[in-house]
Amino acid sequence: MPKLRQNPVTGEWVVIAPERAKRPDDYILPKPVPKKKTLEFCNFCPGGEAYQSQIKGAGTKHIYVVNNKYPAFVPQEGVVLDAGKVYFSQKSVGAHEVINFLDHNKDLEELPLSYLEELFEVYQKRINFHKENPSIEYIMPIHNHGAEAGESVEHPHSQLFAPCVLPNVIVRELDGASKYYKEEKKCIFCQIIKAEKEVKERIVLENDNFIVFCAYAARAPFEMWILPKQHHDRFEDITKNLRKELAEIFQVIIRKLYKGLNDPPFNFYLHNCPIKGKHHGLYFHWHFEIVPRLTRFGGFEFGSGMIIDVVSPERSAEFLRKVKE
């Protein structure tokens, strides 16, 4: 029987309809092709044009940062372009950076733990940097893996988007979390963790300070949320120890996806507490969401904003728990 489930933060509906497909095994891809450098010359490798224009002091030993050559957000004065009775438009102000690993040939699942720690350290550094810019409203590091997940350059990289407006999804999460806080005087995300620990069936992995589970109202097979177990609002404030634990749990998850599903395309992104606004930290609890891109949206998904997920989150979690990384 298909079930309607509601995202406990945003209130958005999804349909969990496993009868329409599928067992988790149906999403195992053919064997992954070993990554090789297919380009003769890569701009992002040491010596390339991008490498040479890196932002000083932004990187770490194995990672460097550059401004995106074709930015979605530009560091300019805000200008309203259209403000009639119907349409509104303004210049897309902010920052858009590319966070590159020095090594072209190793993908996330092959990287040593310390490189993942460095990646999160760079996210922290860049958030702290852009926070000082009054025209920026939000800062979101993201990672695309695989062409179907939007990876357009083969050199391994994350990106950082820092727009002058709050992204729509963050507005919805913030509204939902503040409404819950007003009614219950509790953080909805802390309550979700508690609920997941009670039922256990969607938990994929835990360590001392982090929990990973398949989202209750998942929008895709194997969608996972990664949260610090203790209430914490700002990712950029995490300690070195927490960063290490986060890297450990990420490494296991990425390797589970790689081994279990044969290198599926995926996206992950940080949902962090917005920079501005006094009370958001009481109810916003930072988290990563990691979403494998194994299904496509049809007309109903676009037309209704309601996604039909054909693998139940419980079966996704069971599958992932069994994969040995």
Name every residue whose Cβ is closer than 8 Å to that of residue 238 and which is 6 or more positions away in sequence.
120, 124, 228, 232, 246
Sheet holding 13-16, edge to edge: 3-6, 13-16, 307-309
Considering only the stretches 60-68, 104-112, 211-219, 307-315, report the one whose residues sit in contact with Zn ion under the rule CB under 5 A. Answer: 104-112
Q: CA–CA separation, 65 vs 55, rounded Å?
A: 6
User: Considering the complex, what minimum distance in angstroms separates the CB of residue 215 from Zn ion?
Assistant: 9
Binding status of residue 234 toward Zn ion by CB under 5 A:
no
Give me the least distance between CB of 121 and Zn ion, in Å please. 21
Q: Does residue 104 interact with Zn ion by CB under 5 A?
A: yes
Secondary structure (3-state) at 164: coil
- Where is 227: in which H helix or E strand? strand 224-228
> Judged by CB under 5 A, does residue 231 bind Zn ion?
yes
32 sits in which H/E element: none
- Answer yes or no: are the C-beta atoms of 136 and 164 closer than 8 Å: yes
- The tokens for 282 are 């009481």
Closest separation between CB of residue 285 and Zn ion, Å? 3
63: which strand partners?
60, 101
Shortest distance (Å) from residue 142 CB to Zn ion: 12
Q: Is 235 in the site for Zn ion (CB under 5 A)?
A: no
Nearest distance in Å: CB 287, Zn ion? 6
Does 219 interact with Zn ion (rule: CB under 5 A)?
no
Q: Which stretch, 14-22, 36-44, 240-248, 315-323, contacts Zn ion (CB under 5 A)?
A: 36-44
| Segment interacting with Zn ion, rule: CB under 5 A, options 35-43, 62-70, 81-89, 138-146 | 35-43
Rounded to a whole number of angstroms, the minimum distance from the CB of residue 236 to Zn ion is 17
Residue of 114, 98, 96, 94 whose CA lies nearest to 106: 114
- The yes or no reply on residue 108 touching Zn ion (CB under 5 A) is no
- What's the rounded Cα separation, in Å, for the pair 225 and 20? 24
Q: Give the residue, chosen from 161, 189, 258, 266, that forms a contact with Zn ion under the rule CB under 5 A.
A: 189
- If one counts every other C-beta atom within 10 angstroms of the C-beta of residue 238, the result is 20
DSSP string, 244-258: HHHHHHHHHHHHHHH
User: With CB under 5 A as the contact rule, which of the stretches 80-88, 158-166, 208-216, 277-285 interacts with Zn ion?
Assistant: 277-285
Q: Say whether residue 155 binds Zn ion (CB under 5 A).
A: yes
Among positions 271, 280, 293, 315, the unique one binding Zn ion when judged by CB under 5 A: 271
285 counts as binding Zn ion under rule CB under 5 A: yes
Q: How far apart are CA 250 and CA 226, in angstroms?
A: 9
Contacts to Zn ion from residues 38-77, by CB under 5 A? 42, 44-45
Q: Closest separation between CB of residue 184 and Zn ion, Å?
A: 12
* Residue 27 found at the interface with Zn ion (CB under 5 A): no
Burial 127-162 (b: 16+ CB within 10 A, else e): bebbeebebbbbbbbbbbbbeebebeebbbbbbbbb
Closest separation between CB of residue 86 and Zn ion, Å? Answer: 31
Options 65-73, 117-125, 190-198, 236-244: segment touching Zn ion (CB under 5 A): 190-198
- Contact residues toward Zn ion (CB under 5 A) are 42, 44-45, 104, 155, 187, 189-190, 231, 271, 285
